[in-house]
Structure 1
Amino acid sequence: MPSLRPATDADVAAIVALNERNVVKLAPMDAARLDELRELADRVDVLDVDGAFGGFVITFGPGTTYDSDNYRWFTDRHGDGFYYLDRIVLHEDFRRRGLGGFVYDGVEAIARKHGRMALEVNLVPRNDASLAFHRARGYVEVGRLGDEDHLVSLLEKTWDDA
């Protein structure tokens, strides 16, 4: 049975290693950067799959000093009316099992009270699987940031009942 739990110091090496294996789709993150993000983030959670490390997710509420251009874009647009998913990475041994949907169900439940979940997905280099996943969950593109070497699609999912 999968679960999300807060990351601990014992998880740092696994989180950093998994991020590095997927860095082409993510921002780089060493242990020092992870420590910075843990201070600012609303949540840094580990996906626990029957006691095994299944991945991680990092989310930010509004109003932090997070230095991401993408986060700042949403802040400029929505003030405190959004919840930001910075990154989610599933361990390669646990992909294609519906665990991404499990994590999103949990994160979206938190985001719903803010009325909007915001995130970005790479267009250059292109991440077609992620784009399709987000489309299927009701996310829509609201902007783009970057250049010909690194371009992201800025996506949102909104709820009217927040």
Structure 2
Amino acid sequence: MRVKTPSTTLTLVWLFALAMLVGCTSTPDNIKPVTNFDLNRYLGKWYEIARLDHSFERGLSQITATYSLREGGGINVVNRGYNDSEGEWETAEGKAFFVDSADVGHLKVSFFGPFYASYVVMALDKQDYQYAMVTGPNRDYLWILSRTPTMQERTLNALLAQAKSAGYPVDDLIYVTH
């Protein structure tokens, strides 16, 4: 029987932690982030049109995400939504950084200290930056965003078709009231 030394155990713990962090900032299988991404055009306020359900947004309406440059580098993220049952606004502030190159729509975002998750822009109106579709590290996460509180039906239908063909459960989407 081999006895592990503390340094071997510590190394294994760090390797496991690194694997978990990399897994959280990866892209879902066969999903490619948009290229020729222009952060300056992406900055500003976005309205959440539809999303897959998650506890951190459950019960919220009028959800927006606002992105701005962060002093010292990176991006400030401010998510805001109205809690209908409590009758008050909720805000979550985070930070985001590019995973690789600044012209690829693949970022890592954190709302909780050193823990990051993927923010992958998988579809984008590259002409006017009026809509985007974003996923996380797997197909349990999907958001459809717009610069306005509503989206043209044909644009929404095209994004839904793209998400469905990529394996997302579009029938489970929640459409946000604004």
Q: Which TM-score bucket, shorter chain as reference?
A: 0.3 to 0.5
Q: More strand by proportion, 1 or 2?
A: 2
TM-score w.r.t. length of structure 1:
0.41
Structure of higher RCO (CA pairs closer than 8 Å, 6+ residues apart):
2
TM-score w.r.t. length of structure 2:
0.38
